[in-house]
Structure 1
Amino acid sequence: MKTEFPRTLSLLRQERGVSQRTAAGDLGISQALLSHYENGIREPGLAFVVRACEYYHVSADFLLGRTLSREGGALTDDDILNMADQGNILRGSVLATLQSKLISGAVSVLFDLLGKLNDKAAVNEAAQMLNGAIYILFRRLHRAAGGNEAMFSAPAELVAMGLPAAEMKLAEARYVRTLEALREREAAFPELTGESLSKNYPGSGQCITQVLHSADAKAAGLVKE
C-alpha cells in the first residue's frame, strides 16, 4: 500500500480532533491496531478502508494517496486554502502536506517527461531552475529565523539584489535553447495533453495539471490588471 496512507490516516484523525482510542472505537478496531495502521506497521483490509472513508468523509483515492482531493476530483485553489481555515487544528501542517504533494508530484512528472528526451542538458537546466527557487525560499526563511549567514558562501547583499534569480533566468534561457535544438532535430517529444498526463501518470498527473492551472490562472490575472 502507498506510503502516504499511514500519514494521511493519522492526519485525518488529528484534524478531526479525536484521540487514537476514540477513533479506534468508532472504527471498530483496537487502539493498538489503529496505531499499527497509522505507523505503517500493518496494512488494513478493504473493510477498514471503507469504514475510514465514511468516518473521515473522504474518498478512498484520497485516503490511499492517489489524489489530493477529498472527493476524488481535481482541487481548486480555494479547496487548498480552505484546508487552512480557522476550524482546522492542523491547518499549517495539512496545507504544507498538500502543497508538498502537489509540487513533488508535478516535479516527478516533469522530470520523467524530460527523461524521455534523453538529453542531459534539458534535465540539468530544469534542475538548475528548481534548485534556484528552493535556494531563494530556504535562504529567506533561514534569514528570517535568525540563522547564521556563514552557512552560505554567496554574499547576502548580492542574493538580496537578485543574484540567484538571475542565474535562474540564465538557466531558463539555456533550457529554452536546448528544447529548440531538440525540436529542430525532430526529437520524439512525449504527448503532453491533459488526457495523456492523467492516463500515463495516475495520481501524479493531477498534480502537474493542478500546478499548471493555478500558475496559469495567476498569470492570466496579472495580464488583466
Structure 2
Amino acid sequence: MASEFSRTLSLLRKERGVSQRTAAGDLGISQALLSHYENGIREPGLSFVVKACDYYHVSADFILGRTLSREGSMLTSEEILNAAEPGNVLQGSVMATLQSKLLGGAIGVLFGLLGRLGDKAAINAAAAYLGSGVYQLYRHLYREAGANEDYFALDAGDCTMGMAEVEMKLEETRFVHALKQQAAQKTEFPDLAPEALAAGYPGRNQSLTQVLSSADSRLNGLSQQ
C-alpha cells in the first residue's frame, strides 16, 4: 500500500492547493507525521485513511491505488482528461499519473493472462510490440527536447520512416501466430469473462475495461469517417 497511497496522498494535497501544515491541521495530525505518510516512511491506520478520504472527497479504493476513479467506479475518457481542475499547475502531472495507472493496470492484466497461458512466443511478441510503441513516443519526445540522438543506434531518418511501426506489425503477426498455434493444440485459454477477470485481477480489471472501452470508441469513430 505504501507507494501508491503516499503518492496519491501527496498529489491530492497539492491538487487541493494546501500546504502540508494546513492539511495536517485539518486532518488532526502533526505536519511531521503527514510528511512521513506522504513520503512512504510510515503507513497510517484505518482512521486516518477514512479522514483523508472525507477531506479530499475520494473513495478509499482510489486513495489506496485500487481504482482510478475517485468515487470507486470506472472513469470515462472525458473524466480522465479532465481529472484536474483547469488552471491547476499540477493538471499535467495529475493527468499523467492517472494515464500511467490506467495503462499500467491494463498491461498488467494482459501479461497476467499471457503468463497463465504460458506461451513464451506470445509473451515476447507482446513485450516487443509494446516496447516499440514506447520507444517511438520517447524518441519523439527526445528529439523535440533537443537532445542528441546519437544516443540511439537507430538512425534518426530511419526512425522517422516508421521502423517502430514496421516492427510492431511484425510482432503483432507473431503474437497472433503463437495464439493460433495454442488454439490448434487445444490449449486451455484463460477465462476472459468479466466476472473471472474481476475476481482474478481486482482493481486492475477496471483499467483494462477502461482502456478497451476508450480504444474501441475511438477506433469505431475512425471507421465511421
Which interval holds the TM-score relative to the shorter structure? over 0.9
Counterpart secondary structure, 1:83: coil
Give the conservation status (yes or no) of the 8 Å contact 1:25–1:31: yes
Structure 2 gap ranges (5+) = none
Task: Choose 84-93 or 5-14, whichever is displaced more.
Answer: 84-93
Aligned partners of 2:9 and 2:132: how far apart in 1?
34
Aligned partners of 1:84 and 1:44: how far apart in 2?
26
Is residue 214 from structure 1 mapped to residue 214 from structure 2 by the alignment?
yes
- The one-letter amino acid paired with 2:49 is V
**1:158 maps to which residue?**
158
Give the CA deviation at 1:201. 0.4
**2:185 maps to which residue?**
185
Is residue 42 from structure 1 mapped to residue 49 from structure 2 by the alignment?
no
Aligned partners of 1:195 and 1:137: how far apart in 2?
34
Give the conservation status (yes or no) of the 8 Å contact 2:84–2:94: yes
Is residue 13 from structure 1 mapped to residue 17 from structure 2 by the alignment?
no
Per-residue CA shift, 1:83-109, capped at 9, x if unaligned? 244243310110110011111111111
Aligned partners of 1:89 and 1:18: how far apart in 2?
13
**1:60 maps to which residue?**
60
Give the CA deviation at 1:193. 2.0
- The one-letter amino acid paired with 1:134 is V
Runs (4 or more) in structure 1 with deviation over 3 Å come to none
Aligned partners of 2:89 and 2:24: how far apart in 1?
20
Give the CA deviation at 1:213. 0.8
Q: Percent identity?
A: 62
Aligned partners of 2:53 and 2:89: how far apart in 1?
20
- The one-letter amino acid paired with 1:212 is L
Per-residue CA shift, 1:56-113, capped at 9, x if unaligned? 0000110111100000000000110112442433101101100111111111111110
Give the conservation status (yes or no) of the 8 Å contact 2:2–2:40: no
Aligned length: 225
Aligned partners of 2:118 and 2:144: how far apart in 1?
40
Give the conservation status (yes or no) of the 8 Å contact 1:2–1:65: no
Structure 1 gap ranges (5+) = none
Give the conservation status (yes or no) of the 8 Å contact 1:5–1:63: yes
Task: Choose 84-93 or 39-48, whichever is displaced more.
Answer: 84-93
Give the conservation status (yes or no) of the 8 Å contact 1:17–1:89: no
Residues 68-107 of structure 1: pairs in structure 2 closer than 5 A: 68-107=68-107
Give the conservation status (yes or no) of the 8 Å contact 2:2–2:43: no
Superposition RMSD in Å: 1.0
Residues 102-181 of structure 1: pairs in structure 2 closer than 5 A: 102-181=102-181
Give the CA deviation at 1:3. 2.0
Taking structure 1 as the reference length, the TM-score comes to 0.97
